[in-house]
């Protein structure tokens, strides 16, 4: 029986992990923090509450071949769709992010991250993103914005009072230009903040990890409770691994954070924002925010149009 790709989601409670190969990667820049940070939890009233701490983006899944690897016939499995690598379809609703450094256009993936897409579109159409700053910018990592409560990264509520859970699958990945939802320690702490993956290349450690995954595409690396095996090709397809190697991204965030959109125009603007001077990752003054641009970069508006 062919394994349907729709069943391949990272519901960890339903998967028994095999072996010891970690799916975590090192940071894409040795000088960059390895977290995406949103310092608020969502209270029952939907308002910003006390800080929940830093995000640790290392993948929470550990998987790998058994001591005697189970080799699977990949023809028994459907090819995993990778819509980030495809062009938008005529008639799609896309978003136009107008910043004071240029315009960025993104497309959405409601089939795979419906709640995140609904959350972003609802907030954007309410005008709450207009005038929000990019409060955290790390060159060769991500640019982050969307704090609709405090504008400084300490808050930003979702459209649901209690936040919403991560939506993670093998279909969407943190390749360059991916748009994801920032969160705190809890997987249900997603709010209004979002980030855009900016880095253009992987570090040596991540490259080695990617190459190792290419070598075990047909190895069983996880198993459902019903006994069905899952090959590496259904978690990290070779096509997405090649894309990471050629174009960059942050594979460390895969399996732990929600990707809901992809930049289709304006990556040069993303690079310009990432290159601005910031407070850095270790400011001398403890009260100084980490990685905050010294001169505000503003998300002036988010509007919508039909593609093309």
First to last CA, the chain: 39
Q: Is domain 29-62+89-207+241-306 in CATH 2.40.100.10, yes or no?
A: yes
Residue 35: pLDDT band (50, 70, 90) is very low
The DSSP letter of residue 11 is: -
- 57 CB-contact burial (10 Å; exposed 0-12 / middle 13-18 / buried 19+): buried
Give the helix ranges, DSSP H, for the chain: 114-125, 204-215, 238-247, 267-274
- Read off the pTM: 0.82
pLDDT mean over 54-70: 50
What is the distance of C-alpha 165 from the center of its chain? 13
CA–CA–CA angle 36, 40, 43 (5° rounding): 140
pLDDT tens, 93-107?
A: 999 999 999 999 999
What are the strands, taking DSSP E only, across the chain? 15-17, 93-99, 102-108, 132-133, 136-137, 142-145, 178-181, 194-197, 220-224, 229-231, 259-265, 298-306
Task: Give whole-number Cα distances, 169 to 77, 128, 152, in Å.
Answer: 16, 28, 30
User: What is the residue-averaged pLDDT of the chain?
Assistant: 82
pLDDT in tens, 104-162: 999 999 999 999 999 999 999 999 999 999 999 999 999 999 999 887 788 889 999 88
Q: Is the pLDDT of residue 168 over 60?
A: yes
Backbone angles phi, psi at 116, to 5 degrees: -65, -40
- Please write the tens of the pLDDT for every residue from 226-272: 888 999 999 999 999 999 999 999 999 998 999 999 999 999 999 99
The average pLDDT across 22-36 equals: 36
Q: Which residues of 75-103 are buried (b: 16+ CB within 10 A; e: fewer)?
A: eebeebbbbbeeebeeeeebbbbbbebee
Q: What is the mean pLDDT of residues 64-88?
A: 87
Query: pLDDT grade, residue 74 (50/70/90)?
Result: very high
Q: Give the C-alpha separation, 215 to 245, whole Å.
A: 14
Distance CA 219, CA 215 (A): 9
Does the pLDDT of residue 213 top 90, yes or no?
Answer: yes
pLDDT of 223 reads 85
Round the CA-based radius of gyration of the chain to a whole number and report it: 19
pLDDT tens per residue across span 266-289: 999 999 999 999 998 888 787 888
Q: What is the token pair recorded at 227?
A: 């006994």
């Amino acid at each position: 029986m062919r394994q349907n790709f729709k069943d391949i989601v990272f519901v960890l409670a339903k998967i028994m992990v095999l072996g010891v190969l970690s799916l975590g990667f090192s940071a894409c820049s040795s000088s960059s923090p390895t977290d995406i940070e949103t310092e608020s939890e969502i209270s029952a009233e939907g308002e910003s509450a006390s800080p929940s701490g830093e995000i640790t983006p290392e993948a929470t899944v550990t998987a790998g071949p058994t001591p005697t690897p189970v080799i699977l016939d990949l023809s028994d499995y459907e090819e995993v769709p990778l819509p980030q690598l495809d062009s938008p379809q005529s008639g799609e609703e896309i978003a136009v992010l107008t910043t004071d450094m240029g315009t960025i256009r993104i497309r959405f993936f409601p089939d795979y991250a419906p709640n995140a897409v609904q959350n972003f579109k609802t907030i954007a159409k309410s005008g709450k993103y207009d005038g929000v700053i990019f409060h955290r910018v790390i060159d060769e990592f991500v640019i982050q914005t969307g704090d609709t409560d405090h504008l400084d990264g300490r808050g930003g509520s979702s459209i649901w009072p209690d936040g919403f859970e991560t939506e993670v699958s093998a279909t969407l990945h943190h390749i360059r230009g991916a748009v994801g939802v920032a969160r705190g320690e809890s997987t249900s702490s997603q709010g209004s903040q979002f980030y855009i993956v900016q880095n253009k290349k992987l570090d040596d450690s991540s490259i080695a990890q990617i190459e190792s995954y290419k070598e075990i595409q047909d190895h069983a690396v996880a198993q459902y409770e019903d006994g069905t095996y899952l090959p590496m090709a259904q978690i990290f397809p070779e096509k997405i691994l090649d894309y990471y190697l050629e174009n960059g991204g942050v594979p460390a965030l895969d399996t732990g954070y929600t990707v809901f959109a992809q930049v289709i125009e304006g990556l040069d603007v993303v690079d310009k924002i990432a290159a601005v001077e910031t407070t850095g990752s270790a400011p001398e003054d403890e009260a100084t925010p980490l990685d905050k641009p010294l001169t505000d970069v503003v998300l002036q508006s988010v509007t919508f149009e039909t593609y093309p």
